[in-house]
Structure 1
Amino acid sequence: MLRLDDLTLFTRTAELGSLSAAARELDISPAVASAGLKRLEQQLQVRLILRSTRSLRLTPEGEQFLAHARSALHSLESGRQALAGGKAAISGVLQIAAPSDFGRNVLLPWLDQFQQAHPQLSLRLLLSDHVADLFRQPVDIALRYGEPEDSSLVALPVAAGNRRVVCAAPAYFAHHGQPRQPEELRGHNCLLYMLGGRVHDRWSFVRGGESQALTVSGDRVSDDADVVRRWAVAGQGVVYKSWLDVAADVEAGRLQVALADYRGEATPLNLICAHRDQLSKPVHLLREFLQQRCAELLARVPWA
């Protein structure tokens, strides 16, 4: 029978990329860790990890088994929480991946509030505009804009009504004028971001049931959406951003919305996970909490 501690050791080794790092985290000696990994491989009769003095990588069999090991561990944790019922405070570690701009400027203070309400819960937050691999990275859930490309992932809506808006600093509009229709954006310095190696320079709008899209350009591009927002606040140009990302800047007067009578591209925020058994009580509570906070921002949208 497979041992729970061996499964835990294997998953943490794969996530950390180091057997010694996993041993330190689990508070066991390298020799015990090496024996545990060897024991697991012998029971499965396959090689899971290839190791050298300088590197470590999963074998194809190890890649395949990793998803099953994670699923088993999550299932056991869900069972433990189910036995605990609603009487006990939620606890454990919740690992979250989120986009850079939303994560730094919106999610961080919300997570402070959530953790204050649940002080026994530990959080691990990964911020990046690169899409997290939920099967390989040490992540329980991810918050992402748009629907997942992988249909095998579980997606739960958090802010289905979110959209992009065109905005810039008041000083920029005072100097360059404010566009009254989308075509005028071609005469503005549009600040662009990259995702998956592609520059998002195609901006789309809807008004009166008619859709239109145009290609824009500018002198600044970044693969970090937070950098693009900061450029806009500094008066460097126009951005096409998620309302959730810029709502605080608009309400504080740092950014001003243009083309408010046009509806920007739909940008729903979803909670994504690899398996339904990862939808633990902490995840459900966090989703409900985030839905409420996002609804408060969406109640103040500038579009019709």
Structure 2
Amino acid sequence: MLRLDDLALFARTAELGSLSAAARELDCSPAVASAALKRLEQQLQVRLFVRSTRSLRLTGEGEQFLEHARSALHSLELGRQQLAGGKAAISGVLQLSAPSDFGRNVLLPWLDQLQQEHPQLSLRLLLSDRVADLFRQPVDIALRYGAPEDSSLVALPIAAHNRRVLCAAPAYLARHGAPRQLEELRQHNCLQYMLGGRVHERWSFSDGRRSQAVTVSGNRISDDADVVRRWAVAGQGLVYKSWLDVAADVQAGRLQVLLPHWQGEPTPLNLICAHRDQLSKPVQLLREHLRQGCAHLLQQAPWLG
């Protein structure tokens, strides 16, 4: 019979991309974690990960089993919550700040589902690309790309392995062609994002052996990340965006990933709060809901293909 702690270790290892990181989070030694993973593979009679001294990735069988493991863990967690008081225990106001693009186009349906499952939960959602002041604004937690500049804040990983990707709409590519090398980005209209008065015009990439940055230019700049994405979908130029923000557009054919052999810069998504005592039941429930949703989107990420 499969052990629950083995399934939990497997799921967290897949999400974090590191067995040692999963072991630390689950408060067990690397040796115990390795033995648990080996035990699970023996019981399933398949290899779940391809491991080397520097990397760890899911096998095809591992990707297939991961969805079943997550579903089983989620079902057991729901059962535990019902025994502990059911949906009535998840109530109150969840005050959340999120980036404009991720908030409008990814987060909203997930919040709808969360409230359907827990109707006594109320939401207060602030959408802005500016960093929320958790000590002054009426929010308890914030979703943000990258680590917080204030080291006193608590950052909990939601999508640690998210990256930026280079994209354009089929209509733009039909008119201007697709770049074949990074240097060709200078010849294209690059849609740029501005935060805190600074334009993000230097786009960085890596092929696993070397890194390269290109300073781009274009005729459209906005401080709203959702606007920049909409311009790209409308065929106005190239865009360099978080995969989580454009995954649905890529899957629907509205955007096409360019130069997929070049990886964009890491853009981890974190849940930020001022104190660990703010990790209430609604916040913990939201965190797990978001981790599962982001993990599903990251399974289709181009750098994993």
- Give the TM-score normalised by structure 1: 0.71
Once the two structures are overlaid, the 10-residue window that deviates more, 85-94 or 106-115, is: 85-94
8 A Cα contact 1:89 1:118, kept in partner: no
What does the per-residue CA deviation read over 1:62-121, in whole Å, with 9 as the maximum and x for residues that have no partner? Answer: xxxxxxxxxxxxxxxxxxxxxxx9314300000000000000000001100011111100
Q: What is the match of residue 108 of structure 2?
A: 108
1:26-41 correspondence runs (5 A): none
8 A Cα contact 1:95 1:125, kept in partner: yes
Q: What is the match of residue 198 of structure 2?
A: 198
Say which SS state the counterpart of residue 302 (structure 2) adopts. Answer: coil
What does the per-residue CA deviation read over 1:204-246, in whole Å, with 9 as the maximum and x for residues that have no partner? Answer: 0000320111110000000000000000000000000000000
Q: What is the match of residue 141 of structure 1?
A: 141
1:152-231 correspondence runs (5 A): 152-231=152-231
Which amino acid letter does the alignment assign opposite residue 170 of structure 2?
P
- Give the TM-score normalised by structure 2: 0.71
Q: Quote the Cα distance in structure 1 between the aligned partners of 2:194 and 2:251.
A: 26
8 A Cα contact 1:189 1:219, kept in partner: yes
Which amino acid letter does the alignment assign opposite residue 100 of structure 2?
S
Say which SS state the counterpart of residue 104 (structure 1) adopts. Answer: helix
Q: Quote the Cα distance in structure 1 between the aligned partners of 2:230 and 2:223.
A: 13
Q: What is the match of residue 94 of structure 2?
A: 94
Q: Quote the Cα distance in structure 1 between the aligned partners of 2:161 and 2:94.
A: 26
The runs of at least 4 aligned residues of structure 1 exceeding 3 Å deviation read none
Length, aligned pairs only? 221
Q: What is the match of residue 11 of structure 1?
A: none
Q: What is the match of residue 130 of structure 2?
A: 130
Q: Quote the Cα distance in structure 2 between the aligned partners of 1:111 and 1:281.
A: 15
Which amino acid letter does the alignment assign opposite residue 201 of structure 2?
D
Gaps of 5+ in 1: 1-84
Q: What is the match of residue 274 of structure 1?
A: 274
Q: What is the match of residue 258 of structure 2?
A: 258
Q: What is the match of residue 38 of structure 1?
A: none
Q: What is the match of residue 297 of structure 1?
A: 297
Which amino acid letter does the alignment assign opposite residue 168 of structure 1?
A
Say which SS state the counterpart of residue 286 (structure 1) adopts. Answer: helix
Once the two structures are overlaid, the 10-residue window that deviates more, 88-97 or 240-249, is: 88-97
8 A Cα contact 1:179 1:259, kept in partner: yes
Q: Quote the Cα distance in structure 2 between the aligned partners of 1:180 and 1:264.
A: 16
Q: CA deviation at 1:174?
A: 1.4
Is 2:150 the counterpart of 1:150?
A: yes
Q: CA deviation at 1:197?
A: 1.0
Q: Quote the Cα distance in structure 1 between the aligned partners of 2:111 and 2:191.
A: 29
Q: Quote the Cα distance in structure 2 between the aligned partners of 1:300 and 1:252.
A: 12
Once the two structures are overlaid, the 10-residue window that deviates more, 177-186 or 142-151, is: 177-186
Q: Quote the Cα distance in structure 2 between the aligned partners of 1:285 and 1:152.
A: 23
Q: Quote the Cα distance in structure 2 between the aligned partners of 1:154 and 1:170.
A: 41
Structure with higher Rg: it is 1
Q: Quote the Cα distance in structure 2 between the aligned partners of 1:161 and 1:174.
A: 32
Q: CA deviation at 1:196?
A: 1.1
Q: What is the match of residue 60 of structure 1?
A: none
Q: Percent identity?
A: 80
Gaps of 5+ in 2: 1-82
What's the Cα RMSD here? 1.3
Q: What is the match of residue 249 of structure 1?
A: 249
Q: What is the match of residue 285 of structure 2?
A: 285
What does the per-residue CA deviation read over 1:105-150, in whole Å, with 9 as the maximum and x for residues that have no partner? Answer: 0000110001111110000000001111001000010000000000
Q: What is the match of residue 48 of structure 2?
A: none
Which amino acid letter does the alignment assign opposite residue 188 of structure 2?
H
8 A Cα contact 1:232 1:239, kept in partner: yes
Which amino acid letter does the alignment assign opposite residue 84 of structure 2?
G
Q: Quote the Cα distance in structure 1 between the aligned partners of 2:208 and 2:133.
A: 39
Say which SS state the counterpart of residue 89 (structure 2) adopts. Answer: coil
Q: What is the match of residue 66 of structure 1?
A: none
Q: Quote the Cα distance in structure 2 between the aligned partners of 1:118 and 1:240.
A: 36
Q: Quote the Cα distance in structure 2 between the aligned partners of 1:113 and 1:185.
A: 40
Say which SS state the counterpart of residue 119 (structure 1) adopts. Answer: coil
Q: What is the match of residue 119 of structure 1?
A: 119
Q: Quote the Cα distance in structure 2 between the aligned partners of 1:114 and 1:253.
A: 28
